[in-house]
Structure 1
């Protein structure tokens, strides 16, 4: 996570000048920003950390698919990697969020 997920989402700031780049950067980074207080309070990784991803990364993935960028450009390649990574993460996040809401908060 620290070596791939965080740097890849943070790299969205490098493409802020691209079409919809500001939206991509905002959605990619707000989820991580909202996780900081959770990590500070809980002092560990927990299912609670899945919750901020859902309202930001779900629309981010939809936005990327909707944009349909040319994957031959560096921005297009980045968006494909970002969408694939966040889809993979969201699969776990939705499961963790479901468990969290059902009371399993470990």
Structure 2
């Protein structure tokens, strides 16, 4: 598992963490994104797990967020630490089953945001 550290905020950004977007337009929608990987250009590849009222259109999409934004607690709230997910493998199985039932698949690149 790869990760990046920010000494300024004390937050570590790692794979499988779940973040809530605190942007003024996204906060009320409850937009949540799970970090899948960090690219060499410091972009975090995330999967949209929840976004009201556009759930059906957005869930499962891949979005890219600069890692520096994930370090900021004012921009993104860390909802779930990656260790919690790793400790309970049923969580990943549940998400995979839900996405499979919806025909989304985990990280289905055919539904990438433009």
TM-score over 0.5 for the alignment? Answer: no
Higher helix share: 1
TM-score by length of 1: 0.32
Q: Name the structure, 1 or 2, with higher relative contact order (CA <8 Å, separation 6+).
A: 1
Question: More strand per residue: 1 or 2?
Answer: 2
TM, length-normalised to structure 2: 0.30
